[in-house]
């Protein structure tokens, strides 16, 4: 387990899955009106670590941090991350994240690097992400993916439980999927 902030996607595969399952189990059974902090079990690295999460509709954003981070600061950071996602995906919805996990990672990498907070300024983050996306586009990209993703949305039901706690549904501004 790395220092400070950590996106819950490190470690050996089986261990990693166990952590994610456990974390999801812990977080998902909590009410909305309880606090956003969960003290660390042995799985996430002991007493110095805690889980800090935010809940948006069917989506949980969970950060695992050690005591060098400010709790409320991390809550703010999650908000920044989510708002950035919203900007980069233009009214983000759950399926954006599910189908573009790679892009979510690229955005997250501009916020958190190697387990440490890199940037907290949303404009700076979006600028850098945009420039990199433009570079990708100028190189021809990997494939014409977005069009197909949209068609996929049409014939699909939303999953009851997100596969990964970091994927799911952010319905901050436009929760409805009806336009598709």
Interface with another protein (CB under 8 A), residue total 62
Nearer to another protein, 113 or 173 (CB): 113
> Could you say whether residue 71 binds another protein (CB under 8 A)?
yes
Identify residues 81-140 at the interface with another protein (CB under 8 A). 98-102, 105-106, 109, 113-121, 124, 128, 131-132, 135-136, 139-140
> Could you say whether residue 149 binds another protein (CB under 8 A)?
yes
DSSP the chain: --SS-EES--S-HHHHHHHHHHHHHHHHTS-TTS-SEEE--TTTTSTT-EEEEEEETTEEEEEEE-TTS-HHHHHHHHHHHHHHHHHHTTS--HHHHHHTHHHHHHHHHHHEETTEE----HHHHHHHHHHHHHHHHHTT-S--HHHHHHHHHHT-PPPSS-SSTTSS---SS----TT-
> Could you say whether residue 143 binds another protein (CB under 8 A)?
yes
Residues that bind another protein (CB under 8 A): 3-4, 9-14, 16-17, 30-31, 33-39, 68, 70-73, 75-76, 98-102, 105-106, 109, 113-121, 124, 128, 131-132, 135-136, 139-143, 145, 148-149, 152, 156, 159, 163-164
């Amino acid at each position: 387990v790395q220092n400070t902030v950590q996106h819950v996607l490190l470690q050996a595969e089986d261990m990693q899955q166990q952590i994610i399952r456990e974390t999801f189990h812990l977080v998902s059974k909590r009410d909305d009106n309880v606090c956003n902090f969960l003290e660390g079990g042995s799985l996430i690295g002991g007493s110095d670590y805690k889980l800090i999460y935010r809940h948006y509709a069917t989506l949980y954003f969970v950060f695992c941090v050690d005591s060098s981070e400010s709790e409320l600061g991390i809550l703010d950071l999650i908000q920044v991350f989510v708002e950035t996602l919203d900007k980069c995906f233009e009214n983000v919805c759950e399926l954006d994240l599910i189908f573009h996990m790679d892009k979510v990672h690229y955005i997250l990498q501009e916020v958190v690097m190697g387990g440490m907070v890199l940037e907290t300024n949303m404009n700076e983050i979006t600028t850098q992400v945009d420039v990199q996306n433009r570079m990708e586009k100028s190189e021809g990209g990997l494939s014409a993916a977005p069009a197909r993703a949209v068609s996929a949305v049409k014939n699909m039901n939303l999953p009851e439980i997100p596969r990964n706690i970091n994927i799911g549904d952010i319905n901050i501004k436009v929760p409805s999927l009806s336009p598709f």
